[in-house]
Amino acid sequence: MVCVPRRHFLLVFVALTAASLDAAAQQSSKLPRVGYLAFNKEATGGHILIAFRQTMQELGWVDGQSIIIETRFADGEVRRLPTLVDDLIRLKVDVIVVGSSATTRAAKSATTTIPIVMLASADAVGEGFVDSLARPGQNVTGLTLLAGPEIASKQLELLREIAPAAKRVAVLINPLNGSHAAFAAELTTAAHGLGTQLQLVEAGAPRQIDDAFAAMAKQRAMAILALSDAMFLGERRRIVDLARRGELPAMYSQREFIDAGGLVSYGPSLIDMSRRGARQVDKILRGADPKGIPVEQPTKFDLVINLKTARDLGLTIPRSLLARADDVKR
């Protein structure tokens, strides 16, 4: 039996371990990298990331094994977005995934070469992110919530159906959201036909939300329509609580507000859009050019109603509306 000195054994062990770690590092550096940039905190937007990861895994991209997903959350701070995008670019990501108009704008301003996939944008054409839905023409593709602001008039119509006495409706808008001016114009036209007086109330940051609701109370608003916005989504529990505290029927664009106790929402599923966005990332990682991948729109808009909140507000939801609802929370 050959006796190996302990010192030699340790040297061999260290050398083998170092070689193994070096090989693992080299393997990791060769894996495709996807940068995932979210506007809100992980606590309020993490469920969308989970849906994205799951779909990527179903498509054969397992984080840490066949791909590396670099996640960055702006915690609702617009000013942090340029720094976070630059961080992802320094990591030489192959694709940047963005979850809102604000994150899309930040990524598009930082790079014209790295493919960008939108999980959601309010109006991709209207906001100048792509040339057209069928032919994006740039390094940006993905999904857009709307081809235009027409959904807002449908939301107002549904809100008035639920709360017919609410002739003064406050519209919560974010002046930093590039799509909200068009939405407000669409709502102004629709309001005339519905005999509704609109009150446009602005909140461009979380700290302004309380003041916005104070303004609604001062103007004696009888209901609220909150436009689709990433910041509003991140502050959904606070917005829902303020609406219920003020005993105001409220219409939202995402079911996440209803899960937080809101009254009614009408809009596409963010989870579904995240899954569809993952499929577009898969195409790009397999060699497709984002310029040739059409921007997709939601194929289904869900009407979700919270009956408990309706009872708390003293509202009776018409049976015809309940029959049309995609989900009724009791």
Find out whether 61 and 282 touch, Cβ atoms under 8 Å.
yes
Confidence of residue 145 (pLDDT cuts 50, 70, 90): confident
State which amino acid sits at residue 23.
A
Give the chain's mean pLDDT: 91
Q: How far is CA 255 from CA 264, 271, 329, in A?
A: 8, 10, 11
CB burial string 152-174: b at 16+ within 10 A, e below: bbbbbebbbebbeebeebbbbbb
In terms of Cα–Cα distance, which of 232, 265, 253 is closest to 149? 253
CATH architecture for segment(s) 150-267+301-329: 3-Layer(aba) Sandwich (3.40)
What does the pLDDT average to over 193-218?
96
What does the pLDDT average to over 184-208?
93
Confidence of residue 152 (pLDDT cuts 50, 70, 90): confident
Residue pLDDT, tens place only, 41-57? 999 999 999 999 999 99
In terms of Cα–Cα distance, which of 224, 225, 227 is closest to 248? 224
Beta-bridged to residue 306, according to DSSP, are: 329
Confidence of residue 303 (pLDDT cuts 50, 70, 90): very high
What is the CATH T-level fold of the domain 31-145+270-292, as seen in this structure?
Rossmann fold (3.40.50)
Q: Domain segments of the chain: what residues?
A: 31-145+270-292, 150-267+301-329
Question: One fold for both 31-145+270-292 and 150-267+301-329?
Answer: yes
In terms of Cα–Cα distance, which of 296, 225, 305, 222 is closest to 262? 305
